[in-house]
Amino acid sequence: EGVQPQEYTIIKMEVVPLFPAKLSALEGRKVYLAAATLRPETMYGQTNAWVLPEGKYGAFEINETDVYVVTERGALNLAYQNYSRVPEKPTCLVELTGHDLIGLPLKSPLAQNEIIYTLPMLTILTDKGTGIVTSVPSDAPDDYMALHDLKAKPALWAKFGVKDEWILPFEIIPIIDIPDFGDKPAEKVCTDLKIKSQNEKDKLAEAKRLTYLKGFTEGTMLVGEFAGEKVQDAKPKVRRKLLETGEAIMYSE
Ligand code: A2H
C-alpha cells in the first residue's frame, strides 16, 4: 500500500427480497452488499459480485433504513467516515460468512443485467476495502479468471452450492475499447500471458498493470451515458453521478 490514501467508490448492490433465513432479521430494511472499486466507469459491465467463502462478514447498521454487508474492518472504516448509525461505532445486526452470501440475487447500479448473483472468489483480501468485490470480467483480469475457474471446474461450483443459472446466462459485456486490446481486454491479456487460474498472483499483477494504465489513458467508453468519451473523462463523471443518485458512496483507506 502506498503513502497516499486510495480513493474508492463504494457501490451499493441491493439484495433483492425475499431474504434467505440467515438474513430474515433484516426483513423490511434495505440491505446492500457494499463493493469497493477503483473503476466506477466499468459498472456497466458487471456480471456478478464476489465474496470470500471463508471470509467473516457482518450486516452493519448504516442508518434507520440501510444495512451494509461488509467485513468488520470495512465497517469500522465506514463508521470513522461517518457511515454508521452510531458515530464511529459499527453496529452488527447479523454475523455472516461468505458462504451465507453465495447465491444472493442483487440489483447493482448501472449493471445491464437486472439481477446479478453473488459468487465465490478465493483471492479476496479481508484487509482491503469491504471484502466485497463487484465483478467486471471484460476489464478486470482477477474477475475474468475467477469466472473462468468457476466455469472450467464444475467441482468448484458444487462445493460452494453454486447453480448453473447464477453463472451461465452472464456473458462478458464489452464496455470499453482499448487500442490493441479490443473490447474484452481482460480476456485478451489473460490469454496472452497464458494465465491458468485466479491463483497466479504474479501474472495477474502483470495483467492488471497492462490493462489498467492503457485502459485509463487510451480507452474509449462504448456504452452508457458517456459512450464515445475517453475513459479518463468519463470516470469522474460516472462517479459523480453515482454519488449524486445515492447509488454509491465515497470511501478511502
Ligand atoms: B476493481 P487496489 Cl474493471 N480483495 O473494481 C481483492 N480485490 C479487491 C478487494 C479485496 N478486498 N477490494 C476491491 N478489490 C478489487 C473493478 C475493477 C477493478 C476493474 C479493473 C481493475 C480493478 C471491478 N472489479 O482493480 O489493490 C476491485 O476491483 C485492479 C487492481 O486497492 C478494486 O477495483 O488497487 C481493486 O481491486 C482495488 O485494488
The cell numbers describing 22, all together, are 440467515
Ligand 1 centroid vs 37 CA: distance in angstroms? 5
Distance CA 185, CA 180 (A): 9
Instruction: Please give the number of the atom of ligand 1 that sits closest to the Cα of 50.
Output: 24
Instruction: Please give the number of the atom of ligand 1 that sits closest to the Cα of 42.
Output: 3
Instruction: Please give the number of the atom of ligand 1 that sits closest to the Cα of 45.
Output: 3
Distance CA 236, CA 233 (A): 7
Element (H, E) at 217: helix 201-218
* Cis? peptide before 147, omega within 30° of 0: no
87-134 pLDDT, tens digit each: 999 999 999 999 999 999 999 999 999 999 999 999 999 999 999 999
Question: What is the residue with the minimal CA distance to atom 34 of ligand 1?
Answer: 38
Overall pTM > 0.90: yes
Distance CA 160, CA 96 (A): 15
123 to 50, 56, 105, 111, 253: CA distances (angstroms): 10, 14, 22, 23, 20
Question: What is the residue with the minimal CA distance to atom 20 of ligand 1?
Answer: 140
> The dihedral of CA 42, 19, 29, 87: what is its sign?
negative
Instruction: Report the pocket of ligand 1 as residue ranges, CB < 6 Å.
Output: 6, 36-39, 42, 124-125, 128-129, 131, 133-136, 139-140, 143, 208, 212
Q: Which residues in 180-212 are b (16+ Cβ under 10 Å) and which e?
A: ebebbbbbbbbeebebeebebeebbeebeebbb
Which residue out of 13, 128, 204 has the highest number of ligand 1 atoms within 8 Å of its CB and is therefore the one to mutate? Answer: 128
Question: What is the residue with the minimal CA distance to atom 22 of ligand 1?
Answer: 140
Give the fold, CATH level 3, of 7-252.
Isoleucyl-tRNA Synthetase; domain 2 (3.90.740)
Whether the ipTM is more than 0.95: the answer is yes
212-234 pLDDT, tens digit each: 989 999 999 999 999 999 999 99
Task: Supply the pLDDT for residue 2.
Answer: 56
| pLDDT tens, per residue, the chain with 253 residues | 557 888 999 999 999 998 999 999 999 999 999 999 999 999 999 999 999 999 999 999 999 999 999 999 999 999 999 999 999 999 999 999 999 999 999 999 999 999 999 999 999 999 999 999 999 999 999 999 999 999 998 887 888 999 999 998 899 999 999 999 999 999 999 999 999 999 999 999 999 999 998 999 999 999 999 999 999 999 999 999 999 999 999 999 9
> The dihedral of CA 181, 187, 192, 193: what is its sign?
positive
User: Angle at CA 229, nearest 5°, toward 224 and 233?
Assistant: 105
Ligand 1 centroid vs 163 CA: distance in angstroms? 25
